[in-house]
Structure 1
Amino acid sequence: MSAPHAVVVGGGIGGLAAALALTRAGCAVSLFEKAPLLDPVGAGLALAPNALRALDALDAGEEVRKRSAPHGIAAIRRRDGRWLVRTGPHETQQRFGDAVCVLRYADLCDVLLQRLPAGTLHTGSAVTAVEAGTTRQLARVSTETGDLSADLVVVADGARSAIRSELFLEHPGAVYAGFACWRAVVPWDQADPLDFGETWGKGGIAGVLPLNGDEVYCYATANVPAGESAPDERAALVDRLIDWHEPLADLFASARPEAVVRSDVWHIDTPLPAYHKGRVAILGDAAHAMTPNLAQGAGQAIEDAVVLAHHAGGSMAYVTTAVQSYSAARVGRTAALVQRSAQLAEAVQNDSPVLAGIRDTAAGLIGKVAPWQLARYTRPVDDWRPPVAS
């Protein structure tokens, strides 16, 4: 008997993780990516302990840790450089069993991709439509090179997913969160001392996180209109940070101009009623795009993939039941994180000097007298464990 066929739409972190998880569950997987090449943006990302456990379930966790640099669960400064909250990797390791791991986006893609069978990935092939199918009828997937049937379809084509919009016509979709994010991987001489963490200013933040090797990951946000751009994004960003504490502006100035990537932040603030329809499962940003403030976007997509494969791995004869069970397991957790991340974004993007001052005072007080409250805040996120086969 041939293996059940799963089609995955989208070659980002969620799509790659889903393809790997379903392959390990016994499916023949076809992964379609509309871009001609998998060319991950020159950026980094942080993976909290929950994401690392999900990667462990895919036998990819140890390789990710080897390619990562450890970081604490929270390290926050004011715009003038004064520390508000500071925790280190050792404290995070003690509380959650793992430090936060920071690595290049391209490295995570590579770890997942190299574990997929040859021929799984089809680049330069956009999926144009999906028919969800039923218990008795296979799903149908239309691509630019032809149509095919599938026992299961996984939609992982990002926050502004066209396929999601077709499946849930009445849902408003993703909305602009009100700010943009700039990211860059920049060179760094390890002989130069550098404090890693995030800085909160008025109307935006900036951060510097460690990477293995002689580079660091830098990011910044600002309240700007959607779709806006500058002729030289690096120069514009350096100008924004010129009166922030050192060496934020200097780090971005050391990046190649083309290495500074700007993207508008979109999130799904109205939860989808479900993450499934017929034989289709929706995961990652396509299901629950969130602002980057909790650093959980990639982690939740990987969790989705592991949970989906857990429910689908029993028998494809019951795939409609499997995707329904996946949806039930994921909607509550991810919708709550979308809301929590949006609330944090509202606080850190606030451009009122008075409210920003109150925010900083409260954070500083917690960091000074009750730092354990941070673990209490993040524990429901970081304590997640992969489902175990019964």
Structure 2
Amino acid sequence: MARSRRALVIGGGIGGLTAAAALHQGGWDVTVLERAPSLEPVGAGISLAPNSLRALDVIGLGDEIRDLAAWQGDGGLRTPSGRWLSRTDAAVVAERFGGPLVLLHRATLVDSLAARLPARAVRTGAAATLADPGDADRPARVSTPDGDLEADLVVAADGIRSAVRRALFPRHPGTVYSGFTTWRVVIPVPGAQFASHETWGRGRIWGSHPLKDGRVYAYAAALTPAEGRAPDDEKAELLRRYGDWHDPIPAILAAARPEDVLRHDVHRVAEPLPAFHRGRVALVGDAAHAMEPMLGQGGNQAIEDAVVLAAYCDDLGSYSAARLPRTTAIARQAARVARLNLMTNRAGIAVRNTALAALSKAAPLLFLRGFEDIADWRPPQAPYAAGKTPAGNRKRRTPREGRLHRTR
């Protein structure tokens, strides 16, 4: 009887768990090593686009997530005074991209991914260090407090500050500060009724989105020096920066407690890695291509990575070849959008806003075009999706003819 191949996944976040689930589905014996004492993510909401939902279809999870999530698209872009610069419709977005954009709490997605794995496949409180990447003639080796483990494949999903990335590519400069910090909250806001929106100010943005469970996910970003902290607390900092912006922002801030607010500086991999693998080790997610969040693609690209890795697990060179160009292009696009979002020149902001408003009125579908090549991606494997209509949502539309089988 053939020996089951063993995979070790370093990191129990979204990318690591998706990789574990996809490899387990392919017959691998998988162990996830998570440094934290639990899988409870330090995070808030996550937006999933049609590209990552198709990847989740491969492991049989796409329809479940569509059912659990709120559809996005009914809303648009605003100025701090409340004026709408553009409006979008969820049905139009779903038709354009062959599926919906959805929003849910990160913990919900993590729980669903972990449920795809066998009992005891996930070890929490298990710090892991890459000891040897291995090669064609010997297994990779990972050190843990309980001893060394060998594997046919190591998946490094250890995040922005990836120690595995440094070990594989010691001459790479790593991540750089993007110039701005972010705040996030997920809270109940009694009586809140509003359309999803993102609001662009001068060097600042804010986003508010209802979740399906009745809570509100809100985020903010502002140009700040690295490693800054509020003199009082982060809620007070948000009130100072956004307290006079349009409704429902004041109501959300009033409902938030200081301890509800998460703050993180944003770092990115500015110089692409030479590859996403070395020996028997493959990098996924932020460990490979940390990027600004302005396109909402960080977690989406980690999910794509994981499913493509499962398809090319016997040829990691093909995995790098499939993922490196795509993620590099998306990271560069995210950096461009961040500069557009966080403009500080008043004349430039006026021109930007006028152009966005005119474009939205004259050709609303053209406004979505920059996202088309991201959302239209298909995984290399056949989908597992049941194809049912997500509960409580509009019917999903069929992808446009001629793009159904295209991969990038």
TM-score, normalised with respect to structure 1: 0.95
2:179: which partner in 1? Answer: 178
Contact 1:238 1:250 survives alignment (8 Å): no
1:192 Cα offset (Å): 4.1
Deviates more, 1:6-15 or 1:42-51: 42-51
2:188: which partner in 1? Answer: 187
1:226: which partner in 2? Answer: 226
1:305: which partner in 2? Answer: 306
2:372: which partner in 1? Answer: 379
1:59: which partner in 2? Answer: 60
Separation of aligned partners in 1, 2:299 and 2:278:
23
How do residues 1-390 of structure 1 correspond to structure 2 at under 5 angstroms? 1-72=2-73, 75-189=76-190, 192-230=192-230, 231-312=232-313, 319=314, 322-388=315-381
Contact 2:12 2:32 survives alignment (8 Å): yes
Contact 2:73 2:196 survives alignment (8 Å): no
1:210 Cα offset (Å): 2.0
What SS does structure 2 have at the residue aligned with 1:84? Answer: strand
Opposite residue 99 of structure 2, the aligned amino acid is D
The Cα offsets for residues 6-46 of structure 1, whole Å up to 9 and x where unpaired, read as: 01111111011111011111110111111111121351111
What SS does structure 2 have at the residue aligned with 1:358? Answer: helix
The Cα offsets for residues 23-71 of structure 1, whole Å up to 9 and x where unpaired, read as: 1111101111111111213511111111111111111111111110001
Opposite residue 344 of structure 1, the aligned amino acid is V
1:73 Cα offset (Å): 8.5
- The count of residues paired between Structure 1 and Structure 2 equals 380
Q: Cα gap change, 1:309/1:236 in structure 2, threshold over 3 Å: closer, same or farther?
A: same
2:395: which partner in 1? Answer: none
Deviates more, 1:272-281 or 1:32-41: 32-41
Deviates more, 1:100-109 or 1:363-372: 363-372
Opposite residue 40 of structure 2, the aligned amino acid is D
Opposite residue 16 of structure 2, the aligned amino acid is G
Structure 1 gaps of 5+ residues are 313-318
TM-score, normalised with respect to structure 2: 0.90
1:146 Cα offset (Å): 1.2
1:218 Cα offset (Å): 0.3
Structure 2 gaps of 5+ residues are 383-408
Separation of aligned partners in 2, 1:373 and 1:50:
19
- Segments of 4+ moved more than 6 angstroms: none
1:213 Cα offset (Å): 2.1
1:315: which partner in 2? Answer: none
1:88 Cα offset (Å): 1.4
1:97 Cα offset (Å): 2.4
Separation of aligned partners in 2, 1:42 and 1:23:
26
What SS does structure 1 have at the residue aligned with 2:138? Answer: coil
The Cα offsets for residues 318-372 of structure 1, whole Å up to 9 and x where unpaired, read as: x4xx111111000000000000000000111122222222221221121111211
Opposite residue 98 of structure 2, the aligned amino acid is G
Contact 2:58 2:381 survives alignment (8 Å): no
Contact 2:74 2:196 survives alignment (8 Å): no
Opposite residue 148 of structure 1, the aligned amino acid is L
Deviates more, 1:4-13 or 1:252-261: 252-261
1:243 Cα offset (Å): 2.1
Separation of aligned partners in 2, 1:364 and 1:145:
59
Contact 1:92 1:99 survives alignment (8 Å): yes
1:188 Cα offset (Å): 2.9
Opposite residue 376 of structure 2, the aligned amino acid is D
What SS does structure 2 have at the residue aligned with 1:219? Answer: strand
What SS does structure 1 have at the residue aligned with 2:312? Answer: helix
Separation of aligned partners in 2, 1:359 and 1:143:
52
Contact 1:9 1:153 survives alignment (8 Å): yes
Contact 2:77 2:85 survives alignment (8 Å): yes
2:398: which partner in 1? Answer: none
Deviates more, 1:67-76 or 1:367-376: 67-76
Contact 2:140 2:152 survives alignment (8 Å): yes
The Cα offsets for residues 252-272 of structure 1, whole Å up to 9 and x where unpaired, read as: 231232111111111111100
Separation of aligned partners in 2, 1:56 and 1:215:
26
Q: Cα gap change, 1:204/1:36 in structure 2, threshold over 3 Å: closer, same or farther?
A: same
